[in-house]
Amino acid sequence: MHSILTTAAGMQRVQRIGLALAGVVFAIAAAPLSHAAVCAFAEQGNGHVAEIIDGRSFRLADGREIRLAGVETASVAAAAVARPHALAAIIGDHDVILRGEDDAPDRYGRQAAFVFLPDSGTLVQRELLARGQALAAVDVADKACAAALNAAEAEARAARRGIWETASVIKNAESPGDILSAVGRFVVVEGKVLSVRQGGTTTYLNFGRNWTRGFAVTISKRMMPVFEAAGLAVKAFEDRRIRVRGWVEAHQGASPGPRIDVTKLTQIELLSSN
């Protein structure tokens, strides 16, 4: 085991990493938060839901296409049919209020928003996650909002609701072929970091002995100041189990292995010491 984990100073550093990641990644408030208290950004308008497009998109009666901000759909074949129905059960033929920091449409013409039911104040994203029909995204900048969404996902995961009924939602880092089949999709992977190596301007968290074929997390040099500012030493992830979420890419070369590029601290969660 690397010396950073065997010295007293190293153990203290690892404990600080655990505390920091617990606060940054999956912080859960001690008291329950009201639905209206979180993700209550500026109102971007309202409308009546006319059509459910997929598990996180719908169309309003005025023609606007809305994409749920803060959540991602899981690449689980068994739940592919259920997810649109889950969203329809929550907002189908309902009036909704849209909130967010920016109402500019994306390149596909969709407006990303946090969606609320006006009568109950229900945050649709939170409800969808609590039912186990979505994954928490990593691009929510507001900490209270992100914590509420992550807590809802953790609740569903613990109760094995929805997509969490199957073990295939979380990919095994020791099965690179399975992860590679999800190239271009948002996934959650768990495993033990066997080594931390640097190649050029990229740091690799390797989960396999074969670096080219095994699964790896990549961290660019420009992300290092972000980790340092949070008091996190990337090298201390060695020999630790982590959960990482993000979009799967294939390593370029003769022997492509699956990769997830970390661009936000919230993508990594420290799980245990072994």
| 204-244 pLDDT, tens digit each | 999 988 877 899 999 999 999 999 999 989 999 999 999 99
pLDDT at 83: 60
Please report which helix (H) or strand (E) contains residue 171, including its range: strand 170-172
Q: What is the rounded CA–CA span in Å between residue 266 and residue 245?
A: 9
Superfamily name and number for 3-23+167-272: Nucleic acid-binding proteins (2.40.50.140)
- Tell me if 3-23+167-272 shares its fold with 35-165: yes
pLDDT at 17: 45
Neighbouring residues of 85: CB distance < 8 A, sequence distance ≥ 6: none
Return the domain boundaries, the chain. 3-23+167-272, 35-165
Q: What contacts 24+ positions apart, CB below 8 Å, involve 84-89? A: 84/52, 84/53, 84/54, 84/55, 86/55, 86/128, 86/131, 86/133, 86/162, 87/52, 87/55, 87/56, 87/58, 87/124, 87/128, 87/133, 88/52
CB-CB contact of 96 with 46 (8 Å): yes
Q: 3-class DSSP state for residue 4?
A: helix
**CATH number, domain 35-165:** 2.40.50.90
Give pLDDT tens digits for 68-107.
Answer: 999 998 865 545 545 668 999 999 999 999 999 888 888 8
Q: What is the largest CA-CA distance in the chain?
A: 63
Give pLDDT tens digits for 113-167.
Answer: 999 999 999 999 999 999 999 999 999 999 999 999 999 999 999 999 999 988 8
Interior angle at CA 14, CA 9 and CA 19, nearest 5: 125
CB-CB contact of 48 with 63 (8 Å): no
Q: What is the rounded CA–CA span in Å between residue 227 and residue 233?
A: 7
